């Protein structure tokens, strides 16, 4: 139960304890304040006393928990929490889209997407939630990022991914509605694409349709761009279809390639672009899907 709460609220164990304390102390304070105010009304205990007391407690509760949240350092959590309650009550609450990130490497893009999720949640404007990190490499850095953020992981096996069901059953069971490929180096099997039509996006470290396709990933892309003497490179965010690096393009951004660039320096420029744009593009895309 505590693990689920940590995931849902995007908090670590210490913050979870402080939040639960705030709920408990804020709730008691609110009950006490409610009883004191009721004493002033002179109403005898009975139906009307309970009725008015409940209304009072509902009105006082936000103030009490906010007050208590300050010394516990949880003010921003409770502001966002109250905003969410308000949005839910006024029927304006966004549906939160449950996302899986597929990654094979260090996971810096996954990290940025998770940070975007926290940022929006803090503002009470959560659009998506990363519920699962999927990797094909047991030692991928992205798995440590998942562990640090209390996000469930799924390690996938090549044979089953390509010749089996593409793990569709596991993803559906986890409630996944949208898939982000963030440095995922296997081709996505048709079974998965059909199970998530227009719901899988990829980031590619070049300006597609150039420098895409089988074997074109990471530094290999940058080396090819430098070898070809290109003056410009960039990033492409696109839907995934049944061909490598081919689906409809959602977003591109460019950077210059200088004569002194090496695959490593170009990779740094590309990462900067990716980190700046990928989380925002994902959030905007999911906002649009939400409003349909």
Q: Any idea which residues carry the catalytic annotation? A: 204
β-pairing, 249-256 with 97-102?
unpaired
Peptide bond into 209 cis (omega under 30): yes
DSSP line for 179-228: EEESS--SPPPHHHHHHSTT-EEEEESS-TTTT-STT--HHHHHHHHHHT
Question: 75-98 burial string, b = 16+ CB within 10 Å, else e?
Answer: bebbbbbbbbeeeeeeeeebebbb
Which backbone phi and psi does 256 adopt, to 5 degrees?
A: -85, 155
Binding letters toward ligand GAR, positions 93-112, x by CB under 6 A: ----------x-xxxxx---
Q: Binders of ligand GAR: how many residues, by CB under 6 A? A: 17
What tokens appear for 269 in the block? 């420029």
Binding letters toward ligand GAR, positions 144-183, x by CB under 6 A: --------------------------------------xx
Q: Which 196-255 residues touch ligand GAR, going by CB under 6 A?
A: 203-205, 217-218, 221
- Cα 59 to Cα 287: distance, rounded to the nearest angstrom: 31
Contact 120, 78 (CB under 8 A): no
Closest contact distance (angstroms) between CB of 203 and ligand GAR is: 5
Closest contact distance (angstroms) between CB of 199 and ligand GAR is: 18
- Candidate ranges 36-44, 117-125, 163-171, 270-278; the one touching ligand GAR (CB under 6 A): 270-278
Closest contact distance (angstroms) between CB of 271 and ligand GAR is: 6
Alpha helices in 70-127 (DSSP H): 75-89, 108-122
Closest contact distance (angstroms) between CB of 166 and ligand GAR is: 18
User: Which of residues 23 and 239 has its CB atom nearest to ligand GAR in the complex?
Assistant: 239
User: Which of residues 26 and 212 has its CB atom nearest to ligand GAR in the complex?
Assistant: 212
Closest contact distance (angstroms) between CB of 11 and ligand GAR is: 24
Residues within the interface to ligand GAR (CB under 6 A): 103, 105-109, 182-183, 203-205, 217-218, 221, 270-271, 274
């Amino acid at each position: 139960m505590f693990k689920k709460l940590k995931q849902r609220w995007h908090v670590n164990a210490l913050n979870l304890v402080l939040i639960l304390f705030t709920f408990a102390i804020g709730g008691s304070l609110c009950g006490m304040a409610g009883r004191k105010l009721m004493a002033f009304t002179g109403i005898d205990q009975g139906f009307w006393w309970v009725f008015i007391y409940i209304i009072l407690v509902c009105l006082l509760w936000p103030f009490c928990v906010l007050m208590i949240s300050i010394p516990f350092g949880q003010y921003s959590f409770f502001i966002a929490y109250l905003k969410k309650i308000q949005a839910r009550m006024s029927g304006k609450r966004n549906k939160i889209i449950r996302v899986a990130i597929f990654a094979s490497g260090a996971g810096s893009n996954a990290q940025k997407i998770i940070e975007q999720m926290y940022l929006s949640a803090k503002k009470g404007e959560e659009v998506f939630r990363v519920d699962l990190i999927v990797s094909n490499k047991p030692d991928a850095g992205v798995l440590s990022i998942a562990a640090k953020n209390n996000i469930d992981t799924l390690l996938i096996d090549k044979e089953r991914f390509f010749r089996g069901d593409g793990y569709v059953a596991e993803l559906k069971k986890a409630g996944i509605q949208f898939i982000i490929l963030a440095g995922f180096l296997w081709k996505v099997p048709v079974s998965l694409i059909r199970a998530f039509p227009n719901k899988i996006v990829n980031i590619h470290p070049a300006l597609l349709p150039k420098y895409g396709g089988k074997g074109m990933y990471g530094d290999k892309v940058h080396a090819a761009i430098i070898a070809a003497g290109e003056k410009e490179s960039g990033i492409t965010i696109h839907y995934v279809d049944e061909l490598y690096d081919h689906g409809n393009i959602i977003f591109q951004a460019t950077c210059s390639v200088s004569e002194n660039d090496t695959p490593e320096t170009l990779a740094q420029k590309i990462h900067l672009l990716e980190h700046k744009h990928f989380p925002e593009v994902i959030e905007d895309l999911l906002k649009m899907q939400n409003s349909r």
